[in-house]
């Protein structure tokens, strides 16, 4: 069998792999580039809950081959089973050899399966990202009347809300004391939980699932909780996170990081020469604690993909921001929720001394305008010097973009003081009023907590602040 | 007559004055503070087009006294006619004397009246900000069937679109080659103009109004253009900008800046000791050209108000960003438009060497989701080092917040390169896809234009780039 040689070879065709390829083509136009993808059709991962719930068809939710082929990148449908860093080549299931100068792992992630009795029964599903698995899940859900969903992260919550829209009876079970624990403090989660419960979903927080109940045909008939309570259902969906898909990388001998991802440096370089990793399969470092974190987000993945692409041949572009901020948004019912950086809960756990403030405003002005939503912003800043390290927002759809302003504030290590003179655009039909823009108001509130009365002398202030 | 003494006295109760007072109270809690306002009821300025058009009532659009009084600020309804910087006191129309330690001018702006025949006829209106004038304008408009609006800035365009909603026949006349010239380049303006024309408005760009036509009862019956063309109407609205209201400041001897505003330094201090000015009546300096500019925006005013308030007694807070960026948003029909920093047109005029790129995407993903809008982002960066100095966006409502991310990028003097690793939140129902977030895509496009092929040597690149 002949060997096909590419300058840049990307293993994996999800968002991270596809963006690595197109960005690499843009930066290194003369290079030959290929993406090798196992599945003919790849799904846009973040929209999968809306496909499963029936709002979208799988066909509407593909990452189309044209995304890379239009730029002259080859898209090869094949599965890589071996990598040889010394020979600089990879071998596929059907024995084809592909040579490379630069190799990029973008092998994504796989759903976690908890070590629990009954997980291999019929009608037990995880949320995989390939079309076939999604179609199978959709079909089974169509027939089910009552569904238990285990896991109250983004996927669990989004899928639960989509199913309840289509008239299913849903029990949503989470181990954590509140939903979306990774992104939201109790009070924001509570707002979402109220909507979830109002929709008819039976939400159980702080609740451990002990095992999946099965009948004699090995079909799931429900779950049993730690408390002994049994909840019967026609299907069980396990939405308890994902883990990096690193079987191939491990086999090839790449160093694996603490949370199971391929170890990478700031420029997405692995420990093997000319080998990079991006997206869910790559290790991520928290922007503040510097710990390895298990964050998996398509938007983070594409940022990594662009960094890798520009850095394949030399480090010319210097990264401006170091580490991963967790930056999320979602919709629960008719309300949007978003978060960036650390939560107050995480700050306490990590022993970061913080001051917080929450401002409640409106997203149009005056509030008597049609379709005005309550808009709530919480900021989390260091007590030491008021650097903003996290924030949470709930409101109408516009907060999906507002969180990106907050993300940029965190990436730029801005302080609450620096927001006092912030120049923003406001408009009656689009935003909060200029007199009460929630991000600025919350920053001011922290400013006051930190620095108190500006007319006092430093000695007087010190005394007061020490008493805070 | 006795003299009432306040620590901090603010003249003017629009957004700038009110925010100065509340922020001052928060920073200097022990000080006595008063706002002296001429009108009992002040209108939120940015919503005036929606009041005039009937979507809101004047009552729904007030800046309520409680905004300051709830914090313990006195709101005095009176008109100041004299200021004595030496005695540190002001005198009102009814001869009351108010003493001060710190005085803040927040006297706002007044509509421009062009030096044109017929401007003092009946049924000729400017868009003033007091309730009485707005009610009079509303009443007259109710009776009119056909209205000529002169001026294609934000007020002219917004009012025209509101009137056409209520079935009026509208002719909108602008001197500039496109609408909203201060904020948008031709291609974005064109998009808005198409919506305006589709709504039935007769829009005339590059068109000079010579005079207002009147009948023998001195009632306006239309306008005559430079070309000799006569356009007949039942009312004429002049929306040709505003000028700083500085009669009192001038009389008191304050230095006035080039565009007619009260001269102020970075901390909103005038040349008189202990005297500050904020908002429309204060001079503004362009963040880049350092020229005095005639920008008037409530959001800018409130930023100035916060800076003044914190700086009344000492400069403790150091401003992070110097100069005013023009940052706007508006809605035309069912589409939103926003702009920050310099336009390409302004860059050319000011001899700034720029590179631009425009990316057209979608604001939900996949684009087959309900209510997905086209989202177009144009970025303007310096050719020298890719610093982003301006941008324009059109799309759905979410761009009202997206522009604030762009504003922050400009305020932080970020380069197109620094956006390559930008971490953003994306969600199918809220934003563009992570693979094609328009701000990042446009930044990448400029990166490629500036730095070309990253695998070339510097010598090869230099040759190519010199030929661009």
Encode pLDDT of A80-110 as tens digits.
999 999 999 999 998 999 999 999 999 999 9
Q: In b/e form, how buried is each residue of B410-432, taking b as 16+ CB within 10 angstroms?
A: bbbebbbbbbbbbbbbbbbbbbb
Of B63, B317, B327, the CB nearest to A420: B317
**Chain B residues within an 8 Å CB radius of A405:** 401, 404-405, 408
Of A328, A368, A434, the CB nearest to B60: A368
CB distance B47 to B63 below 8 Å: no
pLDDT of B150 reads: 98
Interface contacts (A, B; CB < 8 Å): 294
* B3-110+244-310 CATH: 3.50.50.60
When pLDDT is cut at 50, 70 and 90, the band that residue A52 belongs to is confident
When pLDDT is cut at 50, 70 and 90, the band that residue A466 belongs to is low
Residue B228: how many other CB atoms lie within 10 Å:
7
Cα(B428)–Cα(A464) distance, rounded to whole angstroms? 47
Q: In b/e form, how buried is each residue of A411-425, taking b as 16+ CB within 10 angstroms?
A: bbebbbbbbbbbbbb
What does the mean pLDDT of chain B come to? 94
When pLDDT is cut at 50, 70 and 90, the band that residue B464 belongs to is low
Higher pLDDT, B166 or A301: A301
Query: A327 and B366: CB-CB below 8 Å?
Result: no
When pLDDT is cut at 50, 70 and 90, the band that residue A309 belongs to is very high
Cα(B261)–Cα(B252) distance, rounded to whole angstroms? 14
ipTM: 0.94
With a CB cutoff of 8 Å and minimum separation 6, the contacts of A216 are none
H-helix or E-strand containing B76?
Answer: strand B74-77
Query: A397 and B429: CB-CB below 8 Å?
Result: yes
When pLDDT is cut at 50, 70 and 90, the band that residue B45 belongs to is confident
**B468: burial class by Cβ within 10 Å (0-12, 13-18, 19+)?**
exposed
For an interface test with B, give the residue of A64, A73, A390, A404 to mutate (most B CBs within 10 A): A404
The torsion angle over the Cα atoms of residues A110, A116, A122 and A123, rounded to 10 degrees, is -70
pLDDT of B34 reads: 98
Dump the DSSP string for A101-163.
EEEEE---EEE---S-TTTTSBTEEE--SBHHHHHHHHHHHHH-SEEEEE--SHHHHHHHHHH
pLDDT of B452 reads: 73
Of B63, B303, B430, the CB nearest to A422: B303
Counting Cα atoms < 13 Å in the Cβ hemisphere of A209 gives 32
Please give, rounded to a whole number of angstroms, the shortest distance from the CA of B213 to a CA of chain A: 34
Query: B300 and A400: CB-CB below 8 Å?
Result: no
With a CB cutoff of 8 Å and minimum separation 6, the contacts of B119 are B113, B212, B238
Cα(B398)–Cα(B371) distance, rounded to whole angstroms? 12
Q: Given a cut of 80, is residue B466 above it in pLDDT?
A: no
Task: Tell the CATH superfamily of the A3-110+243-310 domain.
Answer: FAD/NAD(P)-binding domain (3.50.50.60)
Query: B369 and A56: CB-CB below 8 Å?
Result: yes
Higher pLDDT, A438 or B44: A438
pLDDT tens track for A108-148: 999 999 999 999 999 999 999 988 999 999 988 889 999 99
Secondary structure of residue B464 in the 3-state scheme? helix
Dump the DSSP string for B123-159.
TEEE--SBHHHHHHHHHHHHH-SEEEEE--SHHHHHH
Dump the DSSP string for A313-358.
S---SPPSS-SBPPEEEEEETTEEEEEEE--HHHHHHTT--EEEEE
Beta-strand runs (E) in B266-334? 275-277, 284-285, 292-293, 327-332
Average pLDDT, integer, range A352-367: 95
Please give, rounded to a whole number of angstroms, the shortest distance from the CA of A252 to a CA of chain B: 28
pLDDT tens track for B377-423: 999 999 999 999 999 999 999 999 999 999 999 999 999 999 999 99
Higher pLDDT, B407 or B130: B407
Cα(A268)–Cα(A106) distance, rounded to whole angstroms? 11
pLDDT of A122 reads: 94
CB distance B125 to B235 below 8 Å: yes
pLDDT of A55 reads: 86
For an interface test with B, give the residue of A435, A449, A458 to mutate (most B CBs within 10 A): A435
Cα(A459)–Cα(A450) distance, rounded to whole angstroms? 15
Secondary structure of residue B252 in the 3-state scheme? helix
pLDDT of B455 reads: 65
When pLDDT is cut at 50, 70 and 90, the band that residue B54 belongs to is confident
Secondary structure of residue A425 in the 3-state scheme? coil
Q: In b/e form, how buried is each residue of B117-149, taking b as 16+ CB within 10 angstroms?
A: ebeebebbbbbbbebebbeebbebbeebeebbb
Of B15, B50, B414, the CB nearest to A428: B50
User: What backbone phi and psi angles, to 5 degrees, belong to B22?
Assistant: -70, -40
Average pLDDT, integer, range A140-166: 94
**Chain B residues within an 8 Å CB radius of A26:** 444, 448
**Chain B residues within an 8 Å CB radius of A414:** 320, 412
Residue A198: how many other CB atoms lie within 10 Å:
9
Whether A3-110+243-310 and A113-240 share one fold: the answer is: yes
User: What separation in angstroms does the CA of B48 have from each of B55, B156, B245, B402?
Assistant: 10, 11, 19, 24
pLDDT of A147 reads: 97
Cα(B93)–Cα(B166) distance, rounded to whole angstroms? 41
Q: Given a cut of 60, is residue A275 above it in pLDDT?
A: yes
**Chain B residues within an 8 Å CB radius of A61:** 366
* A337-467 CATH: 3.50.50.60
Average pLDDT, integer, range A351-373: 94
Sign of CA dihedral B114, B118, B122, B123: negative
Of B397, B418, B428, the CB nearest to A47: B428
Please give, rounded to a whole number of angstroms, the shortest distance from the CA of A248 to a CA of chain B: 25
**Record: fold of A113-240:** FAD/NAD(P)-binding domain (3.50.50)
Dump the DSSP string for A174-192.
-SSSSTTTTT--HHHHHHH
- Which of A171, A32, A11 lies closest to A92, judged by CA? A11
CB distance B440 to B361 below 8 Å: no
CB distance A355 to A443 below 8 Å: no
When pLDDT is cut at 50, 70 and 90, the band that residue A319 belongs to is confident
pLDDT tens track for A179-222: 999 999 999 999 999 999 999 999 999 999 999 999 999 999 99
pLDDT of A462 reads: 65
**Chain B residues within an 8 Å CB radius of A331:** 427, 429-430
CB distance A235 to A121 below 8 Å: no
- Which of A30, A15, A130, A5 lies closest to A68, judged by CA? A15
Average pLDDT, integer, range B356-374: 93
For an interface test with A, give the residue of B404, B405, B440, B461 to mutate (most A CBs within 10 A): B404
CB distance A60 to A78 below 8 Å: no
Cis peptide before A366, with omega less than 30 degrees from 0?
yes
User: What backbone phi and psi angles, to 5 degrees, belong to A380?
Assistant: -125, 120
Query: B50 and A313: CB-CB below 8 Å?
Result: no
pLDDT tens track for B301-346: 999 999 999 999 999 888 878 899 999 999 999 999 999 999 999 9
pLDDT of A279 reads: 97
CB distance B271 to A381 below 8 Å: no
pTM of the model: 0.94
pLDDT tens track for A4-40: 999 999 999 999 999 999 999 999 989 999 999 998 8
pLDDT of A223 reads: 98
pLDDT of A219 reads: 96
Please give, rounded to a whole number of angstroms, the shortest distance from the CA of A118 to a CA of chain B: 33
pLDDT of A299 reads: 92
Query: B420 and A313: CB-CB below 8 Å?
Result: no
User: What backbone phi and psi angles, to 5 degrees, belong to B361?
Assistant: -130, -150
pLDDT tens track for B144-174: 999 999 999 999 999 999 999 989 999 999 9
Q: What percent of chain A has pLDDT over 90?
A: 84
Domain boundaries, chain B: 3-110+244-310, 113-240, 334-466
Query: A434 and B298: CB-CB below 8 Å?
Result: yes
Chain A residue with Cα closest to B320:
A418
Q: Given a cut of 90, is residue A62 above it in pLDDT?
A: no
Q: Given a cut of 90, is residue A239 above it in pLDDT?
A: yes
When pLDDT is cut at 50, 70 and 90, the band that residue A367 belongs to is confident
H-helix or E-strand containing A251?
Answer: helix A247-252
Q: In b/e form, how buried is each residue of B302-328, taking b as 16+ CB within 10 angstroms?
A: bbbbbbbbbbbbeeebebebebbbbbb
**Record: fold of B334-466:** FAD/NAD(P)-binding domain (3.50.50)
Cα(A310)–Cα(A23) distance, rounded to whole angstroms? 7
Cα(B346)–Cα(B388) distance, rounded to whole angstroms? 14
Q: Given a cut of 70, is residue B462 above it in pLDDT?
A: no
Of B313, B329, B427, the CB nearest to A330: B427
Cα(B411)–Cα(A422) distance, rounded to whole angstroms? 8
**Chain A residues within an 8 Å CB radius of B414:** 320, 412
Query: B329 and A425: CB-CB below 8 Å?
Result: yes
Please give, rounded to a whole number of angstroms, the shortest distance from the CA of A52 to a CA of chain B: 14
pLDDT tens track for B199-213: 999 999 999 999 999
CB distance B386 to B447 below 8 Å: yes
pLDDT of A45 reads: 87
Sign of CA dihedral A354, A357, A363, A364: negative
Of A67, A411, A454, the CB nearest to B27: A454
Q: Given a cut of 60, is residue A468 above it in pLDDT?
A: no
């Amino acid at each position: 069998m002949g060997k096909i040689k590419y300058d840049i070879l990307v293993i994996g065709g999800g968002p991270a792999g596809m963006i690595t390829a197109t960005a690499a083509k843009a930066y290194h136009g003369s290079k030959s580039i290929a993406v090798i993808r196992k599945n003919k059709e790849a799904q846009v991962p973040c929209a999968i809950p809306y496909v499963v719930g029936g709002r979208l068809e799988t066909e509407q939710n593909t990452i189309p081959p044209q995304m890379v082929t239009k730029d002259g990148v080859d898209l090869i449908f094949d599965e890589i089973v071996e990598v040889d860093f010394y020979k600089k080549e990879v071998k596929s299931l059907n024995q084809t050899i592909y040579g490379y100068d630069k190799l990029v792992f973008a092998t994504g992630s796989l759903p976690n399966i908890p070590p629990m009795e009954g997980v291999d029964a019929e009608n037990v599903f995880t949320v995989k990202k390939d079309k076939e698995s999604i179609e199978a899940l959709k079909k089974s859900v169509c027939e089910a009347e009552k569904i238990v969903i285990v896991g109250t992260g983004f996927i669990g919550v989004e899928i639960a809300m989509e199913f309840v829209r289509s008239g299913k009876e849903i029990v949503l079970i989470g181990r954590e004391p509140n939903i979306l624990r990774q992104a939201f403090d109790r009070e924001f989660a509570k707002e979402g939980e109220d909507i979830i419960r109002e929709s008819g979903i039976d939400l159980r927080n702080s609740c451990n699932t002990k095992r999946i109940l099965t009948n004699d045909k090995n079909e799931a008939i429900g779950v049993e909780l730690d408390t002994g309570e049994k909840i019967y259902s026609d299907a069980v969906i396990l939405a308890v996170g994902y883990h990096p898909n690193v079987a191939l990388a491990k086999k090839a001998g790449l160093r694996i990081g603490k949370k199971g991802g391929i170890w990478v440096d700031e420029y997405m370089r692995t420990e093997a020469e000319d080998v990079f990793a991006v997206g869910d399969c790559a290790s991520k470092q928290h922007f503040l604690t510097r710990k390895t974190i298990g964050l998996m987000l398509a938007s983070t993945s594409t940022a990594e993909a662009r960094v890798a692409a520009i850095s394949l041949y030399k480090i010319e572009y210097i990264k401006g921001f170091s580490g991963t901020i967790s930056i999320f948004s979602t919709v629960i019912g008719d309300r949007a929720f978003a978060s960036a950086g650390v939560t107050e809960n995480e700050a306490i756990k990590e022993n970061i001394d913080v001051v917080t403030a929450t401002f409640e405003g409106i997203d149009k002005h005056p509030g008597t305008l049609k379709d005005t939503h309550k808009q709530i912003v919480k900021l989390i800043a260091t007590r030491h010097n008021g650097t903003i390290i996290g924030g949470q927002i709930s409101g109408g759809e516009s907060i999906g973009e507002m969180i990106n302003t907050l993300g940029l504030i965190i990436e730029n290590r801005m302080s609450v003081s620096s927001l006092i003179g912030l120049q923003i655009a406001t408009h009656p039909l689009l935003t909060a009023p200029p007199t009460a823009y929630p991000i600025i108001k919350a920053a001011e509130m922290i400013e006051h907590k930190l620095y108190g009365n500006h007319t006092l002398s430093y000695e007087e202030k010190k005394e007061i602040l020490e008493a805070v």
